[in-house]
Structure 1
C-alpha cells in the first residue's frame, strides 16, 4: 500500500523505493528517502536529531516542522498583535495534533496525503482568530512536495507569519553551500538582527548561521550543494513564500540544545521557505498557499 498509518504517523511509499513519513503531531515530516535523479541508492534527505523528543511534549527537532502563525519569538507589540504576542516560539501548528483528511495516488504514480488543522478549544483560547490549515504532501521517485494552504473563514483579516522549517541532511556542514542568494538583503540574527546585503555567489554555514533572506520568492529556487555539484544535493523550489531562512546553530549554540545530539549540527543545513519578514494580511474569505518542492540531484 502506498499509504499506511498508525496512531502517530503516516507513511508514504513510492514504487521507485522512495518513501516519507509524517507525524500527526505537528504535521512534522521526519523522513524523505530518495535516490538522485541520476540514480544511485535511496538515501535519507532530512535530518532529525537522535535525541529529538517524539512523545508530543515539545516540537520535534528536525524534519520539516510547520511554523504558524508567528515566526520566532512572539511580537512585542501587544496593541497591534493582541493574540500573537501571547503565543510561544514559532506558534502552535508544530505542536498541535493534525488530522489525516485524504490520501490518493496521482495519474503519474505520485503518492499524496492531506493533513488538516482546524481550531480546537485549546487553540481558540490562546488564538481566537478563525483559520483553517490544509497541508498536502506529495512523494515521487526523486521529489517531495509540501503545500500549505491557509484559509481565513472569518469576517476580519487574518494576520500571520508562516514557514517550513526544513532540516536538510548533508554529509558535512563545512562543505555545504546554498545559492543563489547574492544581491538579496538579509537580517542576521547573529549580528544583532541588523540588515546586510549578500555579496557571495554561494553561502556557506561553517560558522553559526541564522539569516532571513528577503525576496527569494514568490517563485524561486535555492540549491543546497553537498560540496560541489558532482557530490549531489537538493534543489528547493519555492512557490508563494517570499523569504528563506538559512540556519545552522554551530557548535556553541548546538551544544546547548538539550534535544540535539552531540555534533548533530555538523549533519544538516536548514533551508526554510517562509513568509516571515513581515506579517501577511489575509482578507476575509480568502486563502493563501505556500509550496516547497525538494528535488534530489
Structure 2
C-alpha cells in the first residue's frame, strides 16, 4: 500500500473517505476474529446481546458458573472500549500522529496472544483456558469498536451487524415508500440515503467475507490463521508510528544540540529547542 494512503487510513488527520475505508477493513477483521473465535471456544464475542441473554438464562436456571463467565466477558468488552479511549485521548493530548494507530497496534498484539494460546487450548475445553480466551476476544472486540466509533463519531460500527442491518432495512423502507401528491404538499418527501446504503452494505459484506475466510482459515490451519490478521493490522499502523518516531527523534536531537551549545557557551543566552511540528514528515 502507498505510504500516503496508510497515513490517511490510520493517521491523525481524518476524512470521511478514510473513515469508510478503515471501517470496511476493521469489519473484515472483526468478522474473521468472531468466526475463528467461535470455532475455538464455541461462543461469539463481537456483540454483547447474546452474552447478556446467556447471562440471564444461566441465572434463571441457577447456572452461576456460566453466568459469571458471561459477566466477565461483558466486563472485558467494556474494559477494551475504555482502554481504547485512554490510548486515543493520551495520543491526542500528546499531539501524536498515531493516536488512532496505538489501539490498532494493541489489537494486533492481542490477536497474536490469541494465536499463541492455541497450543494450550488445542483439544481442551475445560479449565480456565476457555474463559480467559473469551475474555481476551471480548476485550479485542471492545477495543476495536471504540476506535471506529470515536473516529467516525458513532456513524460506523464494525464488530456487530444488528444496527447496520437495521439501518439498511430503514433505508429500504424509504425506497419502497410512495410519496403521494397530497403528502408532498405538506411534508418533505421521503428519500432514501443511498450513500448510507452503500456504506452499510459494504460493512455488512466485509464482515461476512471476513467471517467466511476466518472460519475457513481456522478450520484448515487453526490458531495460526490469526497471524495474517495481526500482521495486516501492523502494516496499517506502520506509517503513523514511523511518523511519531521521526518527530520524537528530531525533537530529542534538537534538545541534545541545544544542551551542547549551552555547555560550550555559558555566556550566551539560553536557546530554546525547536518545537516539533504536528505535521507528519514527507517521504
- Normalised by the size of structure 1, how large is the TM-score? 0.26
Larger C-alpha radius of gyration, 1 or 2?
A: 2
Q: With CA pairs under 8 Å and 6+ residues apart, which has the higher RCO, 1 or 2? A: 2
- Normalised by the size of structure 2, how large is the TM-score? 0.27
> Is the helix fraction higher in 1 or 2?
2
